[in-house]
Amino acid sequence: MFEAIAFYLFAFLTIAMFYITVTTSQALYALSALAAGMIFISAFFFILGADFLGAVQIIVYSGAVMALYAFGMMFFDTTRDVKEKQGNKAIIIGLSSLAALLVVVIVSAPIVGNNVEAFYPMVEGAGNTQEVGMVLFTKYLVPFEVAAVMLLVAMIAGIVLAGKKMDLSLTLMSDSELMNMKEEDKKVNV
């Protein structure tokens, strides 16, 4: 009973939040609504007994990813309203429905087949975190290491891409220096 109430409540909240994210013309509203939606999604993980996944969802998405977006948005002009693509509405709606239908078919295929067996069954008497550790560090050790290397590569790429000219302080420069820098940038870009 409580599970049903929780499910419907969080389903409604999540859908509402993501709808706001997709439709609003203000970048800040979209960011806040997305962060709220991420936290509501972690509620589903807790309902489903995937406690560790829920905690990771809150820490990584609401913590790291949202903070990264918030800092990234300082570089952009977010006060300006976002312009929308003027496409053919019918094509867009048709394609979305088709893709969503495909996802339903893909996901429900094993249920229709009804011959899915647990690869790595849950261990009796162990908590979720313990189970995750057992499977992650035995069966999925190689993907785990690869993911670690990928995160390292992403971190270095982020530093290299965003960190250019970070040693210069634009606020402390005089106007003439700034103009010189702009002129040089133009020459380089052309």
In the region spanning residues 85 to 124, those forming contacts with other proteins, defined by CB under 8 A, are: 85, 87, 92, 95-97, 99-100, 103-104, 107-108, 110-111, 116, 118-122
Q: What is the size of the binding site for other proteins (CB under 8 A)? A: 82
Instruction: Extract the tokens encoding 185.
Output: 């940038």
Task: Count other C-beta atoms under 10 Å from residue 40's C-beta.
Answer: 19
Q: Which of 13, 58, 69, 181 binds other proteins (CB under 8 A)?
A: 69
Residue 55, C-beta contacts closer than 8 angstroms, at least 6 positions apart: 42
Give the residue, chosen from 109, 127, 130, 136, that forms a contact with other proteins under the rule CB under 8 A.
136
- Rounded to an integer, what is the distance from CA 51 to the centroid of its chain? 19
Q: Whole-number minimum distance, CB 171 to other proteins, in Å?
A: 16
- Whether the CB-CB separation of 57 and 37 falls below 8 Å is answered with no
CB of 153 to other proteins, least distance (A): 7
Q: What letter does residue 59 receive in the DSSP assignment?
A: I
Q: Which of 13, 55, 56, 58 binds other proteins (CB under 8 A)?
A: 56
Please choose, from the candidates 65, 81, 73, 66, the residue with its C-alpha nearest in 3D space to the C-alpha of residue 24. Answer: 81
Position 154 contacts other proteins (CB under 8 A): yes
From first CA to last CA, the distance across the chain in angstroms is: 65
Shortest CB 132 distance to other proteins, Å: 6
Contact at 8 Å (CB) between 69 and 31? yes
Q: Which is nearer to other proteins, 103 or 173 (CB)?
A: 103
User: Do 33 and 18 meet the contact criterion of CB atoms below 8 Å apart?
Assistant: yes
Residue 127's SS3 state is: coil
Q: Is 83 in the site for other proteins (CB under 8 A)?
A: yes
For other proteins, which residue of 9, 68, 173, 179 counts as binding (CB under 8 A)?
68
Binding-site string for other proteins from residue 165 to residue 184, where x marks contact by CB under 8 A and - marks none? --------------------
9 near other proteins, rule: CB under 8 A: no
